[in-house]
Amino acid sequence: MQWTERRDLYADGVASGDPEPTSVILWTRRPFESGSEHRLTAELALDAEFTRVVASVRAPVLAESDWTCRVLAGGLKPATVYWYRFVDDTGAGSRVGRTITAPRVTDDRPVRFAFVSCNSVNEGAQNAYRRMIWEDARAPADERLGFVLHLGDFIYEVVEYPEDVSHRYSRIVYDLGHIPDGRKVGNFHVPTTLEGYRHVYRAHIRDPDIQDARAYFPFVCIGDNHEFSWQGWQSFIQYPGGKVEPAQPLRVAANQAWWEYIPSRVRKASGPELDAFAPPRVVAAPITKVDDDGFGDEANNRIAIGSMTAYRAMRYGKHVDLILTDLHSYRMEDPTGRPEAAALDSGDYPVIPQEWLEIVDGGKDYAGGKPPVTIAIGDKTIPNFRKDEPAVTVLGREQKAWLKDRLTKSAATWKIWGVTNGPLDMRTDPQNLPAGLFKAPWPGRDYGTFPGADFSGAFAERREIYDLVRDRKVSGFVTVSGDRHSFWAGYAAPALPPAAFEPVGLSFITGSISAPGLGEAVEFGKPSPRSGLYVRRPAGGAPEHTINLTVKRGVRAALEYAASGDIAKARALTNPDLAPHVAFVDMAGHGYTVVTAGRDAIDTEFVCIVRPIVRATTPDGGPLRYRVRHGAEMWQPGEPPKLRQHIVEGDVSLSI
C-alpha cells in the first residue's frame, strides 16, 4: 500500500498498549478538516521496512472521539516484535511504531519490564524516556524490555501558565497552551470539560520523548489522581481551602479522555467497541449519602464511575501476573480532611501522630472492634468521630474482592500488584528530637507519619491484603508503585515496631519521570534550626537530602549528618525500630525502574537521572545520578523475603 510519512498530519504520534500473546491495541490520532468519520488502514510487519507485512486492518477515525483511532490487531505470534503504521486513503501516513506481543503463559523465559509514573511536561523534561530507549536499543535481545508499565499521572490536569508563574522551585514553567474553558485554582488552571482534558493529553503526548517512548514500547497504563482531579475521589472534587463539590460530568469527561488517548483493554459501560467511548449522560447532583464502604450513594455518581472500569490484570508469560488497581474511583473520603479532624493539630510538626491516624483509619474496627471514645493529641481531646464508621477503604468493596480473588488464584511465579500509591510506611521518630527544636513537645506517643492520601496511610486495608497473602500462603508477592516522586525499596509488612515486623513480600516505588518531589521542595525552604531534618547545604556543594535519613534512620541520624557531614556518625545513631521495612529511599530521585522476574528470583534496577529541568541534548537522555539494584530469591510462604542490594554506580550514601 502507498505510504508517505506525514508527521504534520499525525502530530500526536502512534502508540500500542496492553499486549497479549496473539494481539495488541494500536493507536494514533489523525484529525480531518471536514466530515465526522474517515477511515485509516493499520499495517503490521515483521520488519521496519514493511517488506514482510502480516496484517492490514481498516478502522474508523471519528470526530466524536477527537479523531483518535484504535485497532485491535489479532492473529499475531507470541513474544514477537512487530512494526506498525497508519495510513489514510490519500497515502498520508503516520510515523512507524514498534510493539511486542506478550509471551505464552507457558513461556519460561524471564520477564523484563520498566515501571514509571508522573510525567510533568509543564515543569520538566522527560529525559528518562530518552535514556530508557537508548539503553534498550543497545541491550542484548534477551535483556530488552517487553513493555512499560505506567502507574499513573500520565498527565497533570493542574496546568501553570508561564504568564502567571514563570518558575517553580528552580524549574522553568513550559507553555502547554491555555485549557479551553479552564478554571483557575491558585496558580493552576484545571479542565472543566472534555475538551479541556483532551487539550492536556495532547500537550503531554506531543512532548518528543513521551511520543518516542510510546512509539517504541507497548505501554500498560493505570490512572492515578491527576488523570481526574488533584485532590478528587469518586466523582468529587476539592481544591485547597474549598468545599467538596460533586463533579459527575467531569469524572465522565476524564474517563473518556483517558480512554481516547491511552490504548488499553479497559472496560467501558458503552460496550467493547473501539471506535467511540459513548459517554453516559449525568448531572452534577448533590451526593449526600454514602454506603457502608463510603461510596457516594447517588445515581449519577455510580453511573459516572461505572462509565469506565480500569482495574484489570495481565498474565505475562509463566512468571508474571500483573494486577492493576484503581485507587481513586472507589475510595472513601479521606477522614483526616474532614472538619472534625481539624482539632487534631500537631502544631508546627510536619508529621501526624501515628496512633491517631490509625484510630481514624480503623473506624469501628479499630483495636478488634473496640475503638476509643475520644482521640487525644497532647493536651487536646476530641470525640472519636469515626468510632461508629467502617474502616477506610481505598479499593472499594468490589475491586477489593476482585484483587483478593486474583491474588489467591494466580498460578504465576510472581504476583505483582501495581498499587499506584506507595504502600511503604513513610514515618519518622519525633519522640527522639532534642528539646527546643519545635515550639512544643511532640504531642504523640511515639512515631509520626507524613500526612497525605498515600496508600501507606490505609493501615487497616493494607493489613487486610497482607494478612490474606500470609494466611493463604500466596508466594512471590511484590508491589510496584509510583506517585511519591521518590525511589524506595523494601518489604511489604502488615505492621512496624513496636508491633511485630513480619514481611510477606517485597515493595518498590519508582521516582517520577519529571515531577518535582519533597526532596526538591525542601531545598527551597527557609533555613531554620530544624532544616537539618530535611536538607544539608554544604558550602560550595549541592544540597544533600537528609530527609532520606529522617525517614530511614531517624531524626538523630539526620541532625548529626546535617551538623558534621559524617555518614558513619549519622548511621551510628540509627533508630533500628523506625524503618526495618526500608532498604533504600531517595526523596529526590527521577527516572524509572526495571524489573526482571524469572523462575527463582526477582530483581529491580533503579535508573536515576539528574534532575530533568531542561531537555537533554544527547541521545542517551543525559547523565545518571546512580544505578542501584535490589533483588531476592524466591522465599517460601511463611518465611520473610531477603533483599540483596548492589550499587552499580553513583553515590547513594544517604539512601542506604
505-535, pLDDT tens digit by residue?
999 999 999 999 999 999 999 999 999 999 9
β-bridge pairing 487-492 and 505-509: antiparallel
Q: Which of 65-79, 417-431, 438-452, 574-588 has the lowest mean pLDDT?
A: 438-452
Whether pLDDT at 549 is above 70? yes
Q: What is the pLDDT of residues 368-383, one digit of tens each?
A: 999 999 998 888 889 9
**Which residues, at least 6 apart from 401, have a Cβ–Cβ distance to it below 8 Å?**
none
Mean pLDDT of 94-106: 98
| Alpha-carbon span 303 to 282, nearest angstrom | 7
Mean pLDDT of 603-609: 98
Cα angle 457, 461, 466; round to 5: 105
Shortest CA distance to 344 belongs to which of 330, 333, 331, 355?
Answer: 355
**What pLDDT is attached to residue 378?**
82
**What pLDDT is attached to residue 241?**
85
Mean pLDDT of 92-110: 98
Mean pLDDT of 79-107: 98
Whether pLDDT at 199 is above 90? yes
Q: Which of 211-220, 304-313, 332-341 has the lowest mean pLDDT?
A: 332-341
| Alpha-carbon span 387 to 461, nearest angstrom | 17
**What pLDDT is attached to residue 453?**
62
Shortest CA distance to 110 belongs to which of 314, 489, 407, 413?
Answer: 413
Q: In the chain, pLDDT over 70 holds for what percent of residues?
A: 100
Whether pLDDT at 328 is above 80? yes
| Alpha-carbon span 66 to 598, nearest angstrom | 41
Q: What is the pLDDT of residues 284-320, one digit of tens each?
A: 999 999 999 999 999 999 999 999 999 999 999 999 9
| Alpha-carbon span 325 to 307, nearest angstrom | 16
Cα end-to-end distance, the chain, whole Å? 56
**What pLDDT is attached to residue 229?**
98
| Alpha-carbon span 480 to 36, nearest angstrom | 42
Shortest CA distance to 27 belongs to which of 80, 101, 86, 78?
Answer: 86
Whether pLDDT at 1 is above 90? no
| Alpha-carbon span 510 to 113, nearest angstrom | 13
| Alpha-carbon span 646 to 656, nearest angstrom | 11
Q: What is the pLDDT of residues 453-473, one digit of tens each?
A: 689 999 999 999 999 999 999
Mean pLDDT of 484-510: 97
Whether pLDDT at 155 is above 70? yes
**What pLDDT is attached to residue 532?**
97
Beta-bridged to residue 112, according to DSSP, are: 596
**What pLDDT is attached to residue 90?**
96
- Mean pLDDT (the chain) is 96
